[in-house]
Amino acid sequence: MTAARPSHLGLHGGKLAAVPDSPNCVSSMTDQEPFFMEPIDVTGVDQPLEKLKQKIAAEIPRSELITEDGNYLHFEVKSLVFRFVDDTEFLLDEAEEVIHFRSASRVGYSDMGANRKRVEKIRSAMN
């Protein structure tokens, strides 16, 4: 159930990948209502990506930093019981002082809101 790492992850023209057709993804870079969430406000936060990495390490169990490239981070997060893997990506927009994100399940159709809950937990930890 761990499926191979998707090839479409990362930046495409300075943006995170589009959301899939299935309801197991959230993103701050989509205009599709069921998937959209506001980006994480980091106004006045010193070294926001370092803080983000620390908060994820402390708050999100079974998360592993896979890629760190400039203002982009990619984490894999495994579910406790079945070890499903979700890909959670972040992109710091320094000019707007926000962190954009995309969090999606690799397998299945519904995630029972797991990606949305994860991003809300990270957002709360950043405040």
Q: What letters, b where the CB count within 10 A reaches 16 and e where it falls short, cover 51-88?
A: ebbebbeeebeebeeeeeeebbbbbbbbeeeeebbbbb
How many residues are listed for the chain in this entry?
Answer: 127
pLDDT at 4 over 60: yes
Give the pLDDT confidence of 10-53 residue by residue, as tens digits.
Answer: 999 999 999 998 999 999 999 999 999 999 999 999 999 999 99
Q: Model pTM?
A: 0.93
Residue 26 in contact with residue 17, Cβ under 8 Å?
Answer: no
Q: For residue 61, what are the CA distances in angstroms to 10, 28, 74, 89, 125? A: 22, 23, 15, 16, 14
